[in-house]
Structure 1
Amino acid sequence: MHKDFIVCYFNGRPPPFNQIQSVLSHMWGKGRKLEIHNNPRQRSAIVRIPSEYLRQKILEKNIWYVGDSMFHTAQWSSVHSASTPPLSSIQIWAHLTGVPLDLRYQQGLSLVTGLVGEPKETDDFTLNLVSLTLSHVKVEVDLTKPLPSVVEFQRQNGEVVEVQVDYPWLPPTCSHCKELGHVIRNCLTYTPPKNPPSGTETATKQKEKALVNDP
């Protein structure tokens, strides 16, 4: 019975429960209301998915969204009953421009891409040298660190090579803490400023105060 449950862990402040219920029921329940147990203190929700096939597909994809709130999934277990470990890294594709031709092989690309994250794989476009300037490499990156747009490395002859790095897809980035995976309104370290009273309200309060103090 417990194998039917998966845990959804939000990377930041979770959205309202009714939004979670609506989006997950649409994505995974095909419109049918899913059984969801919300745990906002732990930024998680436990969802019953009776279909083993669907459950495995959800777990394989791992990264999902409710609006602009990113979350990852895990099979429920007694370990997850208390808490779910936060997502600290994610795999994304990096497009490298300017890698020297003599480094356009598996080990050479790994050396360059290691300046971005941990290299995982490349594609046929890169292996077959479809482009002599552009390489595609999937890397595992740290969600707590900003991603570089340019990396530099020094060759044995002392030459410094600059490589431009582009990312065709990125998770949302917080403009406050700079971490990937949530936006500022869902940031756990951000405190919104209190709205100052408008000019009209201030003038009215000053007038009322003057009337009270007027003998």
Structure 2
Amino acid sequence: MGNFLGAKPKLKQVDEFVQKYWKNIDRPIVQYYKKGWYSFRFLSAHDMNEILKVGPWNMGSSTLVLKQWTPTFSKEMDSISIVPAWILFPDLDPFMWSENVLSKMASVVGKPLFADLPTTFKFKLSFARVLVEVDVADDLPTTLQLTSPYHGITQQRIIYEWLPHYCYCCRKLGHTNEHCKFTKINKKFAETVQAKKVVQEYRPVQPAVTPPATVAQDSECHVPG
């Protein structure tokens, strides 16, 4: 499953993008799912992993975030926060470049998927690179503590190659709270309510003044005899 962070392309554009840049695998079937999500049906798990290893993919000003489908995806798609991300372990001792050790180290961050080819075959020893499923809604660690038989307890740095923005207001990827439309709507509503708020003032009620009673007089004066 894939979602474009930024401008949403049309299905034809996505299909042309796949045909142009995913040449090292059999062409997958691309379909529009819903709510901005696209499905990519690969012919094998190997093809899917080959694409995940190279991502994330950029298409113009948009970034394609891919996530493996699960039976609960439809329920989680509106508040999805777990995405694959590449993490780097710089200046890692060569004797720790085993699949078992790297997997345990990456588990501190999230669910390890696989290492890239230079890490697997130790072509570049300046850093180890592992793809991990991380929850961007959490506070991700930037260091981890290692216990080495040669160096004792040391602090290992963790570098995140790329992480998408996450909004805690609407629980979606691609923007932060400050740029969330719901935050702006709520702020505008609060300002409107504040402007229209009526302040009641106490005003004492003045008692009504009753005019004095008048007696009607006849035109002739009656004198008792």
TM-score (norm. length: structure 1): 0.51
Q: Which residue of 2 aligns with 1:150?
A: 143
Q: How far is the alpha carbon of 1:69 from its aligned partner?
A: 8.6
For the pair 1:56 / 2:49, whether they are aligned, the reply is no
Show the counterpart of 2:208: none
Give the match for residue 187 of structure 2.
193
Return closer, same or farther for 1:169/1:132 CA change in 2, 3 Å cut-off.
same
Counterpart check, 1:114 vs 2:78: no
Letter in 1 for 2:76: P
Rounded to whole Å, the distance in 2 between the matches of 1:71 and 1:29 is 16
Report percent identity of matched pairs: 17
Q: Are residue 141 (structure 1) and residue 134 (structure 2) matched?
A: yes
Equivalent residue for 2:174?
Answer: 182
Distance 2:119 2:156 in 1: 15
Name the SS for the 1:193 alignment partner. helix
Q: What's the counterpart of residue 76 of structure 2?
A: 85
Q: Could you tell me which residue of structure 2 aligns to residue 200 of structure 1?
A: none
Give per-residue Cα distances to partners, 1:119-146, cap 9 Å, x unaligned.
1111231123233341011111123213
Contact 1:9 1:72 in 2 (8 A): yes
1:133–1:68 distance in 2 versus 1, CA, 3 Å:
closer
Structure number with larger C-alpha Rg: 2
Note the 1:20-31 alignment, pairs <5 A. 20=8, 23-25=9-11, 27-28=13-14
Structure 1: runs of 5 or more not aligned: 1-6, 39-43, 50-54, 198-215
Q: 1: CA distance between counterparts of 2:114 and 2:67? A: 23
Unaligned runs of 5+ in 2: 17-30, 43-47, 193-225
Post-superposition, which runs of at least 4 consecutive aligned residues in structure 1 deviate over 4 A?
7-11, 35-38, 60-75, 155-158, 187-192
Picking from 163, 166, 169, the partner of 1:170 is 163
Task: State the number of aligned residues.
Answer: 162
Q: Offset at 1:91?
A: 1.6
Structure 2 CA distance for aligned equivalents of residues 170 and 70 of structure 1 = 12
Cα distance change on mapping 1:27 and 1:120 into 2, 3 Å = same
Counterpart of 1:181 in structure 2: which amino acid?
L
Q: 1:104 to 1:28 in 2, by over 3 A?
A: closer
* Aligned-partner Cα distance in 2 for 1:73–1:126: 22
Q: What residue in structure 1 maps to residue 222 of structure 2?
A: none
Write the deviation string for residues 177-204 of structure 1: whole angstroms up to 9, x where unpaired.
Answer: 6x7723123476776534979xxxxxxx
Shift of 1:9: 7.3
Give me the whole-angstrom Cα distance separating, in 1, the residues matched to 2:84 and 2:136.
Answer: 10
Instruction: Indicate conservation of the 8 Å contact 2:136/2:166, yes or no.
Output: no
CA contact (8 A) 2:81 2:173 kept: no
Match of 2:89 among 90, 96, 115: 96
Secondary structure in structure 1 of the residue aligned to 2:88: strand
CA distance in 2, matches of 1:10, 1:128: 32
- Asked if the contact 1:68/1:172 (under 8 Å) is kept, the reply is no
Cα 1:191–1:155 shift into 2, 3 Å: farther
Q: CA deviation at 1:74?
A: 8.8
